[in-house]
Amino acid sequence: MALFGSVRGLFAREARTPSVAPKAPTSSRVRAPVPSEWVRLKEFVSACEAMRLDLCGLHASDCVGFFERCAHVEGAVHAGVSLERAARDHGFTDARHWQTVVAYFEARHSELAWDAEGVPRIRFVEQFRRAEAVVRERLREADARSLEPIHGVALERFAEVSAAIVRLGATPTRAALSSVLGELGIGPATYGAVRRGWLERIAHDSTRSLQRRYMDAFLAARQRFATLAPADEADEPEEASARARRSWSDEGVLVA
């Protein structure tokens, strides 16, 4: 995951992690000394536990819960929220607090092993690696379910329809709205159900991946429309982004 840099950097030269712990080197080989990085990792863990680092509801042994929290924070950051805001929104004092908790979990769930050549390798323990894989799979499955079309309308299509409606102005007439929906092949009643359905999914998506997809599709549609509009009707990039946010802000969905 993107935020894992401080401790994972120690793994950069590690070969592919074997499925079982490597055997200790034979007596004919000399085992290299314990690396200083490993000593510092263990000292860091001890210091965090001595000062009772606030894990904000996470349990030190709950690797799955940790990776789920990572997904929420990273999802918010990818959606455009600052790391500082994302960390606070998920219970942490600030970005530094969150990064310290990440480093603590990574360090606590790491181990030192010697390969067949007697070279020490720092790696995550099996439980930690397995938990990350479990959460990633859950996210893939949830992402697939969240993208299922509503009444046959995919998220990108909904964003395109929204972009077309926004072009009508703040208070479009019923006739103008019906005309645009008709051109796009969606009836007014169907559009209402589709809009409510997608807004609800966006609102309940804690990873904010749907919000990000919607914004990208909306802005792409606005750009396509702009190529067909007179020059004085084209949006500046900032205005187009603001229109994308306003296209659902009346429902209270967006948390900027």
Number of domains in the chain: 2
CB 87 within 8 A of CB 223: no
Joined tokens for residue 82:
């600052």
Q: Any bridge partners for residue 111, and if so which?
A: 123
Same domain assignment for residues 136 and 38: yes
Same domain assignment for residues 65 and 132: yes
C-alpha pair distances (Å), 117 with each of 24, 109, 112, 120, 133: 9, 24, 14, 9, 29
Which of these three, 114, 143, 172, is where a domain ends?
A: 143
CB 188 within 8 A of CB 178: yes
What is the domain extent for residue 17? 8-143
Contacts of 243 (CB under 8 A, 6+ apart): 163, 166, 218, 222, 235
Higher pLDDT pick, 52 / 239: 52
Which of these three, 143, 166, 201, is where a domain ends?
A: 143
Least confident window among 89-98, 143-152, 204-213: 204-213
- pLDDT value at 26 more than 60: no
CB 88 within 8 A of CB 100: no
Per-residue pLDDT tens over the stretch 106-118: 999 999 998 888 8
Distance from the first to the final alpha carbon of the chain:
23
pLDDT of residue 199: 94
Higher pLDDT pick, 52 / 178: 52
Note whether residue 256 is domain-resident: no
Same domain assignment for residues 166 and 135: no
Note whether residue 1 is domain-resident: no
Per-residue pLDDT tens over the stretch 119-166: 899 999 999 999 999 999 999 998 899 999 999 999 999 999 999 988
